[in-house]
Structures are given as structure tokens and as C-alpha cells.
């Protein structure tokens, strides 16, 4: 199974500050790029990896120090407990969609292919993009486009889809694009469709709720001095990561004790996100929007 180049590889592995003999978790295994580098540094330590996509299982690493779990990272704590692991020294999350998923025409993740509207990261789950477009009432569909696609014309777009589906089911990528093409600004069509597909993908896969659960559980299972490393690819993910690392809540509200000391379970190592170099972007276009943040458990 071919997977594309890992984004911000050196910077994220450096950010984990790996200690030989430690226990680490890669919650987004994918092609195994981060995991392979972690295994080089942990000595007789242990690495647990998660990926909800069955395709990723084909990239598993034959190493007695390594365990790959085919599940969403929102179940981090449950599976660590199952493997009798109470605390870990570092967690890495390369969020968003993998290049492999985008490049597989059957998955419906890319607007480049006229595939069936699917967008499931876990193909065992039932909800697909086609179902959302066929069943969601206009208000709920509008909220998806507004909250997760940050589209100002969300209600008009949703209304147009609901009107169209009364006479014809919207099944494929091209059919959806045809229905909503009048809302795409000339010259910015690709960005518009990307926002639509991002919104549908986040809703189908419950990505924001899963990320919140991951951040809370990461704080619960990290040892003192343990590191959380996260790479986000859009502002919704990055905002949650930044706020939680900074304040221990998703609103970013700083709480202080009687003496004015910031009360947060984590301390940010990076004040500003680390972004890919021009050289990396040239080699790997997917890296362009990546933002890496690092925090240490207090």
C-alpha cells in the first residue's frame, strides 16, 4: 500500500523528545512514517499505534515492541488499559486525511474523481456523504457547512441540495458539484469544493468530537514531563489543539490561581506553530497547510 511522504517528520519526532525505554503512542499510523522513526529511538521501549482505516493494517511493522490497533484514537484510554498500560511518555497525532485516502478514487475523498459520495475513514461505519445529502434536513445540513466548512452561504447551499434531492438522488462527486456550482466563486472553485468536502468528511467521521476526546485522554494518560505532538491541517483542528495545550479547555480560557499562576495541565513548548519549509512543500504539496504544535504535561 503506497502512502505519501510524512509531513514535518524530523520536527515532530524531535518534538516528542524520545527517551529510550519509554512508551509512546502514534494515534494516526497511516503509512507508518512516524512510527518507524519512533522505533529507531525507543530502545527496549514500546510503541502503540492506532488507525481506524483497515488499509493502514497492510503497513504494519513486524517488531515485538510494536502494537497496531485498528480503531479510532478516541478509544485511546480503553485500549491502553486493555494492554495494561497506565501511562505513556509521548503521543503523536498527524491529523486530517491521509494522502492515500485522497488518492483512492473509490473512497470519495477527492473532488478530482467522479466517485460515489462516501468519505468514511472507517468503512465499517454506516453513515456516508450520500446519506447525509439525502436525509439531513436543511437546517442541519446548513449547520454542517457553516461549522465545518466555514461557508457563509451555508443555508442557500443546503436549501439547493434539499430542493434537488426531491427529484433526483445525489450519488456522485460530479453530481454534487453540478448542483452547487453556482455558489463557487469564479477562479476559486477548487477551494469552495474542498470546503464542502471537508465539512461532509468532518461530520461523517465525527472528527471534532474525536479530537476533543483524544486531547482530554492524552492529558490523562501522559506521564509528568510527557509530550503531546499534533499536526493540524485546517483552522478548526488547529484551534482546538492550541486552546487545549494552552489552557486545558477548548475555549482557550486561561484560569489562574490566587497568586496569578496559570492553571493548565500542559505547557506549550511552541508559542507559534512549526510550519513546513519551502523545500518540504516543494517535495510534498500536502505539507503546505500543516501546523505542528508541541506541549509538555505539567
Q: What is the DSSP string of 24-67?
A: EEES--TTSHHHHHHHHH-TT-EEEEE-S-GGGGGG----TTEE
The mean pLDDT value for 69-85 works out to 97
Calpha distance 94→116 (Å, rounded): 26
**Predicted local distance difference test score (pLDDT) of residue 108:** 47
In angstroms, the CA 205 to CA 70 distance is 15
Helix axes 207-221, 189-205, angle to 10 degrees: 60
Residues 6+ apart with CB under 8 A from 81: none
What are the structural domains, with CATH classification, of the chain?
A: 9-99+207-297 (3.40.50.150), 110-205 (1.10.150.170)
**Which distant-in-sequence residues (6+ apart) come within 8 Å of 264 by Cβ?**
246, 247, 248, 254, 255, 298
Averaged pLDDT, 90-106: 69
Residue 41, CB-side half-sphere exposure with 13 Å CA sphere? 18
Q: How far apart are CA 195 and CA 201, in angstroms?
A: 10
Q: Say what percent of the chain tops pLDDT 70.
A: 93
The more confident residue out of 92 and 57 is 92
**Can you give the pLDDT at residue 111?**
58
Tell me the three state secondary structure of residue 78. helix
Better-predicted residue by pLDDT, 43 or 254? 43
Q: Whose grid coordinates read 507559534?
A: 272
Residue 82 contacts residue 221 (beta carbons within 8 Å): no
Q: Per-residue pLDDT tens for 130-171?
A: 999 999 999 999 999 999 999 999 999 999 999 999 999 999
The contacts found for 136-141 with CB under 8 angstroms, 24 or more apart, are 137/162, 138/162
Amino acid at each position: 500500500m503506497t502512502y505519501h511522504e510524512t509531513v514535518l517528520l524530523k520536527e515532530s519526532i524531535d518534538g516528542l523528545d524520545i527517551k529510550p525505554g519509554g512508551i509512546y503512542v502514534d494515534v494516526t499510523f497511516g503509512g507508518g512514517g512516524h512510527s518507524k522513526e519512533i522505533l529507531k529511538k525507543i530502545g527496549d521501549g514500546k510503541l502503540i499505534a492506532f488507525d481506524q482505516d483497515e488499509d493502514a493494517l497492510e503497513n504494519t511493522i513486524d517488531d515485538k515492541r510494536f502494537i497496531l490497533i485498528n480503531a479510532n484514537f478516541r478509544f485511546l484510554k480503553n485500549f491502553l488499559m486493555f494492554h495494561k498500560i497506565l501511562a505513556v511518555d509521548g503521543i503523536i497525532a498527524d491529523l486530517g486525511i491521509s494522502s492515500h485516502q485522497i488518492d483512492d478514487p473509490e473512497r470519495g475523498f477527492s473532488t478530482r474523481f467522479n466517485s460515489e459520495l462516501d468519505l468514511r475513514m472507517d468503512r465499517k461505519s454506516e453513515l456516508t456523504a450520500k446519506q447525509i445529502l439525502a436525509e439531513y434536513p436543511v437546517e442541519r445540513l446548513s449547520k454542517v457547512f457553516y461549522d465545518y466548512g466555514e461557508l457563509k452561504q451555508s443555508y442557500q447551499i443546503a436549501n439547493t441540495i434539499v430542493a434537488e434531492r426531491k427529484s433526483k438522488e445525489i450519488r456522485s462527486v460530479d453530481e454534487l458539484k453540478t448542483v452547487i456550482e453556482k455558489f463557487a466563486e469564479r477562479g476559486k472553485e477548487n477551494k469552495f469544493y474542498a470546503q464542502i468536502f471537508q465539512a461532509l468528511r468532518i461530520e461523517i467521521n465525527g472528527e471534532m468530537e474525536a479530537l476533543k476526546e483524544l486531547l482530554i485522554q492524552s492529558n490523562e494518560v501522559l506521564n509528568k514531563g510527557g509530550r503531546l505532538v499534533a499536526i493540524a491541517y485546517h483552522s478548526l483542528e488547529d484551534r482546538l489543539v492550541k486552546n487545549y495545550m494552552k489552557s486545558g479547555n477548548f475555549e482557550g480560557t486561561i484560569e489562574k490561581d490566587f497568586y496569578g499562576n496559570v492553571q493548565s495541565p500542559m505547557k506549550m513548548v511552541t508559542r507559534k506553530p512549526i510550519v513546513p519549509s519551502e523545500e518540504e512543500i516543494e517535495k510534498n504539496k500536502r505539507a503546505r497547510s500543516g501546523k505542528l504544535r508541541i506541549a509538555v504535561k505539567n
